[in-house]
Amino acid sequence: MRIKVEDVVEIRSGDDTGVRGKVLKVDHVQRKLVVEGVNRVYKHVKRSQKNPQGGRLSKEMPVHISNVLLICESCGKATRVGARYADDGSKQRFCKQCGASLGLLAPAKATYAKK
């Protein structure tokens, strides 16, 4: 997956279409993300010592990765993300619309370095 924690994403489908938020958690196995302020549900909590009042807690639930697009920092648009090798052999993410680098995915390897 090319979306990481702390990235800003835009929701493309569902009840929260068009909402932008920061990624709080990434589940690589199920290919889901928890995005701040998106896909909120109520969890009913019984009274206890930890929660003396009880009631309804609002929390974010995971969204499938196919329903979000990363926001490019340089062009400000929701875009798909690609991977490419830089001249030094490091693997990096890039914006498919403007071509700007979005950060490293893997450190440099001599086999991928351009001579």
Q: What is the pTM of this model?
A: 0.83
47 has a pLDDT exceeding 80: yes
Domain limits, the chain: 1-46+58-71, 81-115
Q: Whole-number mean pLDDT of the chain?
A: 93
Distance CA 43, CA 46 (A): 10
Distance CA 85, CA 18 (A): 31
The CATH number of domain 1-46+58-71, selected from 2.30.30.30, 3.40.50.720, 3.40.50.300, 3.90.1170.30: 2.30.30.30
> pLDDT-based confidence at 1, cuts 50/70/90?
confident
